Chains A and B, each alone.
Chain A
Amino acid sequence: MNRIPIFVASKDKDIADFSAEELNILRDATYTLRQLRVSRNDSKRIIQKLLAMGVNMTIPLATDGISDKEEKSLDQLIGSLIERSK
């Protein structure tokens, strides 16, 4: 069984911005993801439908080739969080 994928499909949009077909997909997704446990097949099906709708659910986490300055700022963040977590 899989955990529920987090996504925001309706960000900055009005209901009128969606077609009837897209609203059906969102209704199906909402119904499926409200279940306490979601099977891998169901979550995969919903993700595929949302992708076909053009919803981008990825979080950019690729850090390949980041600058020293950027890495330093991320190191500061982790240092601060470690301090706060103690």
Chain B
Amino acid sequence: MSVMNATFFDTDMFIHKLSIDPPVRRSAQKEFIENKPSAMSEFSIVEFKGNYIACLILLRRKICDSASFETACARILNSGDRRAKLMLVQLIKWLGGFDFPIKPWEKAQNMLLTHLDAQIEVVWETFLSSVDRIERQFNCTRATEEPQDNNGKWTATIPKCRANNANCKINNFLINFLSEIKLLSSELEKLSPEKKTKELEKIHNISKQLIEHNKFSWEGSTCRQIGDLLIALESKSGIGLLSSNYKEHNILSKSLDYNFMHFEVVKIRSK
């Protein structure tokens, strides 16, 4: 399949497909059906694993290690991850809500763990097969690593990149777009502080370093700080990028010259 006529989907679009809000979920699903051929950046794999899948795994671990439902809830709340708490309640709601048999805990725990194990595997496979093509222009090593299941002990760790564990072409990839990145950097310089999100700030700082040294310092987790930029640059090979991240892509698309298609979540919710 040629990627030239493909619509790229940003990572958030896969998460909207799993939204608990039916109108958002249905609208996202419709976009995947109607925009064919479809593609995604390899970096979306890293983001999705570190976001939705990592949250499912965190939830699974807290439930597995807890002696009661109360303890499980307390551990999840103490972890500070509001999403994990809401995910647990949503799962219980889906399994019967107020009628969910929470006692005895061992039985409820097994039921929750079975569904979470299944979801980790099913969601991962569904995610990978939801587009016609995965664009791999810089062969990200982290994007080849699946969540690992060691006898029920799942991990979705994203290792920091080092010379002995990464074999990608990210430096060449970014250097090939140096003129676009220079233009972006000068535009970000002029951007008012209220429009400069944390993500754009990171992109600006890393772009300046890249321009100054003519080299991308990829060691560690630098790429994860510029995910929007990497996804935007890979999507330039298609007909556009569909995303709900307006604040970032509205700015990036002007300098990097790609077609940003806005998935308007607020508008969908207000209908």
- From B17, B69, B90, A63 is in contact (CB under 8 Å) with B90
Per the bound structure, the CA–CA distance linking A40 and B100 in Å amounts to 29
- Closest Cβ of chain B: how far from A60's Cβ, in Å? 5
B191 sits at the interface (CB 8 A): no
Per the bound structure, the CA–CA distance linking A70 and B97 in Å amounts to 14
- 1/0 per residue A59-86: CB within 8 Å of B? 1111111110011001101101110111
Q: In the bound complex, do residue B125 and residue A51 qualify as a contact, i.e. CB atoms below 8 Å apart?
A: yes
- 1/0 per residue A1-23: CB within 8 Å of B? 11111110000000000000000
For chain B, residues 69 to 117, give those with C-beta under 8 angstroms from any C-beta of chain A.
69-70, 73, 83, 85-94, 97-98, 100, 102-103, 105, 113-115, 117
- From A5, A81, A86, B122 is in contact (CB under 8 Å) with A5
A86 CB contacts on chain B under 8 angstroms: 70
Q: How many A-B residue pairs have CB under 8 A?
A: 122
Known contacts A3-B113, A3-B114: A60-B70 contact under CB 8 Å: no
Per the bound structure, the CA–CA distance linking A52 and B125 in Å amounts to 11
Known contacts A60-B25, A62-B16, A81-B102: A74-B86 contact under CB 8 Å: yes
B15 CB contacts on chain A under 8 angstroms: 62, 64
Per the bound structure, the CA–CA distance linking A63 and B91 in Å amounts to 11
Per the bound structure, the CA–CA distance linking A31 and B16 in Å amounts to 34
- Closest Cβ of chain A: how far from B204's Cβ, in Å? 25
B34 sits at the interface (CB 8 A): no
Give the number of chain A interface residues (Cβ < 8 Å).
38
Per the bound structure, the CA–CA distance linking A66 and B265 in Å amounts to 11
Q: In the bound complex, do residue B121 and residue A44 qualify as a contact, i.e. CB atoms below 8 Å apart?
A: yes
B197 sits at the interface (CB 8 A): no
A43 CB contacts on chain B under 8 angstroms: 121
19 pairs, A vs B, C-beta closer than 8 Å: A4-B114, A40-B121, A44-B121, A47-B122, A48-B125, A59-B91, A59-B119, A61-B18, A61-B87, A63-B86, A65-B21, A77-B89, A77-B93, A81-B69, A81-B92, A81-B100, A82-B73, A85-B68, A85-B102
Interface residues, chain B, CB within 8 Å of chain A? 12, 15-21, 24-25, 52, 56, 68-70, 73, 83, 85-94, 97-98, 100, 102-103, 105, 113-115, 117-119, 121-123, 125-126, 129, 149, 151-152, 265, 269
Interface residues, chain A, CB within 8 Å of chain B? 1-7, 40, 43-44, 47-48, 51-52, 56-67, 70-71, 74-75, 77-78, 80-82, 84-86
Inter-chain pairs besides A61-B87, A66-B20, 12 sampled, C-beta below 8 Å: A4-B114, A6-B115, A40-B121, A44-B125, A47-B121, A58-B123, A61-B91, A63-B87, A78-B88, A81-B102, A85-B69, A85-B70
